[in-house]
Structure formats: structure tokens, C-alpha cells
Amino acid sequence: MTYALELKDVSKSFGLVHANKDIDLAVSPGSIHGIIGENGAGKSTLMNIIYGMHRADKGTISFNGQQVDVRSSADAIEHGIGMVHQHFMLVPTFSVLENVMLGSEGGLTLSEGRATALERLTHLSTTYNLEVDPHALVSDLNVGQRQRVEIIKALKGGAKVLILDEPTGVLTPQEADQLFEILKVLRDDGVSVLLITHKLTEIMDITDTVSIMRQGEMVGHRKTSETSPQDLAELMVGREVLLEVTRTPATPAEVRFSAKNLGYTNSQGVVELEDINFEVRAGEILGVAGVSGNGQTQLMETLAGMLPLTTGVINILGTEVTSADATSPRIIRDLGVGHIPEDRHTHGLILDFEARENMILGFHDSELAGSGKLFDYSAIQQNCEDKMAHFDVRPSNPRLSAKNFSGGNQQKIVIAREFSANPGVLLVGQPTRGVDVGAIEFIHKQLLELRDAGCAILLVSVELDEVMSLADRIMVLCDGQNVGIIDAEKADRSTLGLMMAGQKAEAAT
């Protein structure tokens, strides 16, 4: 049979890093093919090679049995390849239609290109249930809708192979389900879908076949029906992996961190947080659950001092911070609060800085950058090497720019930095977004160790499973309000689901 896509012996190095080694891959037409692998295994690199954004050092690529030379993404599109990148590439100030038109504007005036694009867009959105208003501004769309625009863009040239690089990383579970429905329709229409994800349940749910990568190599291909999450995880990591952490009961001590009547109203006057009350004790994890966009981001940012409080009091290790105080991240940090931000690219990292410079972000005034007045780069280097070793950041090269690390390893840099400071209170946002199963296991273990060492941890995650498996108590946010706080033992999916929809804890239980 002829494969829709076939790779033979594809290799690619970046300097000393062997990102892809002799990769073979075959994808049948009309199938969903999963690609999994640890952070930095080379998945994105391989996809970028197929899409013509990187050039392989050696090896061949064939589409429908024909060997082709893909020299640019324009070539790839011509051969019927479409790709949705790990990070969206849309112009926010353009309308959906204008974004779809990009690259095929047509003649001198836009009217012709606009008409054909509109036609394509309507056609695609009706056939594949890709509902989106062509005239809406992209900046007004939510993440799920933006992704649909990306998919329409990828499909507009009549793509027969669609590559999706970690599409679900930024989606809520509901949005992810909608995406999968769309992918199934595409598959039934004869499109081959290449899906990268770190979530093994998604692989099990939706793919037909799956390929596993480890450290630049293809270590196996499986029929999804003949494998199990455990089997896949072991192939990926090369050892046995605990898919769920075993959590010992917490031994909470004194209250370290609390909020009373906390409120935040944004500059447009919209109330985004109202009357939030909670306490976190030393040695416990308070999880925050909720459908994303219900105030979690604002909660984290007000607590971290990045947004000003409108009302209320935060008590950090005995020091009170009120709306009257001019808070700042510096003040909060100096009180002993660590913060792993939800969005590592906008907040957690300076992408153009070297890893070692990122490893002192927020600590450049401390000993880590040297004890004298000036920076001591040998200390900075040493600090980075130590943390990279302890947190298994790969490649362990302190001089590599943050942007050249794979997504999961970027996250590990942030985690290494914030965990190592031994914070008394830790704010954690989406700690395992885009992180592989092995690293999730590691990060979860580290979080629990920090807890047991007496840290008070506030954990925000849109992954309900993550909150349920780590938190000792769970606070549910809905519409910027605290619906209730329940013990993790008593929490199950349906109770939390009802609370996330706004039902009070008493009524829900």
C-alpha cells in the first residue's frame, strides 16, 4: 500500500545536539497517527522537517509514494501538508478571514482573494464543523476558536496530511473534545492527521497508530488498540513510570499564607475576583480548580504581586499586604514566595537569554549571581549546571538560549529556578503544561517533597486530575468567586464538576 507520508532515515543535528537520528515513519491515508516522546525527544524538529521549516541532514521524505524534496513550507503546502504549530501564528489585529487569506491574497486588489478565501473558509467550516465567524477579530477569539482558525489555515490549500504539534496543551478538556470530533471527521474524509501530545489518554482515545520517540530516535510503532498507557510510557522514558503519584497524607502545621476578602477589579472596571478567602498551612497543597478563565490567572497574579489588589488582605508568613500597600512582585518575593507562572513564554523566561541567565531571573540581586557588586559568571554558570543536573534539564547546556530548549525543558528551567530557592510559600500555575509523563512524575514528586518539607503550596491547574492527585484541599473558582473549599478525599469528578459550574459545596455534596 502507498503511505500518505513516509520518512526514511531522516537525521538532523543542531551543533552537537542530535535532534533526530535515522527516523523511519509511515502514515496511512485516512488515519490519526500519534507521536509521543519525552521533552526534547525531537518531535517538533521532525514535524518541522516534514513541513519544510528545517532541512534534514540526510534521509528521504515521500508523499503518496513519491519522493520529494521539501525545501520550504511553501513546497510542503504544495505537496498537501498543513501544520498547526505548538505556538499559534496568527495576526491578532486581523479578522479570521484576513488571517486565512495570508499568503494567498490574490491579485492587485484584495476583493478577489477575499471572495475565494471566504468561499474556502465557509466550505471548510461546514464540512468539518470548524465553526468560527469569518469576520471576528482574532484577538476577540478564545484559544479553542483560534486553534480552529489555525486548522482552517492549514487545510485551505487542500492538505492531505495535517500536523498538529501539541494542540491540546492550551485547551480546556471540553475544547479538546471538540477538537477530536473535528479530527475524526477529517480522518473519515481521507486526511492523515499527525498528532503530537503528552497526554497518553488522548493517544488511547483518538489515534489509530502511534510512534514513540526517545532521545532523537524512533523506538517503536504500535497499533493503538494493541497497547496501553503504561506500555507507551515505558517505551518513551525507557523505564517504568508511575502515572499517578502516591501521595502520603499531609501533615499541615501553622497557617503560612492566607487571603481574606480578596478582590480584583481590572482597569475596565470588570470585577474579576470577588471575596476570595482561603488559608494554606505549612506542609499542605491547596489546589485551585475551575474551568479556565474563571479568575485563576488573576488570582495567581494578585497573590504574586503582579496585579494590584482591589480589596482584601493577603497574609504571607505573618506579614500583611493590603490594597493600600503598593504591592510588587519584588516585595512578595522578598517575603519568601516562589512563583511558577502559568505562561512560561510571557512571564517565566526571557527566550533570547541563555539558560544560565534565565536561571537567575528574579534572583539577579542575590548570591546566585555572585557575591560581589558585579556579576560573577562562573558562579552563574555553576548555579545553572547544578540546577540542570538536579532537575534533569536537557540538553544540560547553560549557554543555550532558552528558546532553543524544547517546551518541556523550558518548563523545567523555570521549575528548577523557583523550587531551588526553597520558598516558604509557592504559587504554582499549570506546572506540567506541555511536559512529558516522565517529567510530570518528577515534578509531582518534587512538589510533594517541597510540601513535606513544610512549604505552603497553592496549585492552579486546568487538569482536574492533576489537582485531584496532588492537592490536600481543593478550592473551586467560578466566575471569579470561591464556590467552596473541600477536602481532596471527598472530591470526585462529579462533585467538582458541579462546583465548577457554580453550585455551592454544601449543595453539591
Partner 1 sequence: MSKPTPPLPRWADIVLLPLINLLAALVLCGLVIFAIGENPFAALKVMINGAFVYQGALGYTLFYTTSFIFTGLAVAIAFHARLFNIGAEGQASLGGLGATLVAFAMAPIPGIIALPLAIGSAALFGAAWGIVPGYLQAKRGSHIVITTIMFNFIAAALLVWLLAGMMLEPGQFSPQSSLLPEQTWLPKIHEMLGWIGLKTTATPLNASFLIALCACLFFWVLVWRSRLGYEIRTVGQNQEAAHYSGINVARVIIITMAISGAFAGLMAINQIQGVSHKLILGFTAGYGFTGIAVALMGRNHPVGIFLAALLFGALVQGGTELDFEFTVITREMVLLIQGMIILFSGALAYMFNPPLARLLARIFGTKEDANA
Site string for partner 1, 374-413 (x = CB under 8 A): xx---------------------------xx---------
CA distance 104 to 310: 48
| 237, 242, 243, 249: CA torsion to nearest 10 | -150
Q: Among residues 72, 104, 201, 261, which is the contact residue for partner 1, using CB under 8 A?
A: 72
- What number of chain residues touch Mg ion (CB under 5 A)? 2
- Binding segment for partner 1 (CB under 8 A), chosen from 125-133, 154-162, 286-294, 349-357, is 349-357
9 contacts partner 1 (rule: CB under 8 A): no
Residue 45 region, left (φ>0) first, then alpha (ψ -120 to 50), else beta? alpha
Q: Among residues 193, 286, 349, 499, which is the contact residue for partner 1, using CB under 8 A?
A: 349
In the complex, minimum distance from the CB of residue 446 to partner 1, in angstroms, rounded to a whole number: 21
User: Degrees (nearest 5) of the Cα angle 55, 59, 64?
Assistant: 95
Footprint on residues 250-289 left by ligand ATP (CB under 6 A): none
364 contacts partner 1 (rule: CB under 8 A): yes
- Binding segment for ligand ATP (CB under 6 A), chosen from 269-277, 406-414, 473-481, 486-494, is 406-414
Dihedral sign computed on CA atoms, order 478, 340, 41, 157: positive
Footprint on residues 42-81 left by Mg ion (CB under 5 A): 44
Q: Among residues 19, 183, 259, 289, which is the contact residue for ligand ATP, using CB under 6 A?
A: 19
Q: Which long-range contacts (CB under 8 A, 24 or more apart) does 496-501 make?
A: 496/289, 496/464, 496/468, 499/289, 500/289, 500/290, 500/291, 500/294, 500/476
Q: What is the β-pairing status of strands 32-37 and 209-214?
A: parallel
346 contacts partner 1 (rule: CB under 8 A): yes
Which residue's CB comes closest to Mg ion? 44
In the complex, minimum distance from the CB of residue 229 to partner 1, in angstroms, rounded to a whole number: 32
Pick from partner 1, Mg ion, ligand ATP, none: which does 255 bind, CB < 5 to 8 A by kind? none
Joined grid coordinates for residue 113: 482573494
Look up cell 489509530; give the residue: 208
- What number of chain residues touch ligand ATP (CB under 6 A)? 19
In the complex, minimum distance from the CB of residue 196 to ligand ATP, in angstroms, rounded to a whole number: 7
- Binding segment for partner 1 (CB under 8 A), chosen from 173-181, 188-196, 202-210, 329-337, is 329-337
User: What SS3 class is residue 66?
Assistant: strand
3-state secondary structure 240-284: CCCCCCCCCCCCCCCEEEEEEEEEEECCCCCEEEEEEEEEEECCE
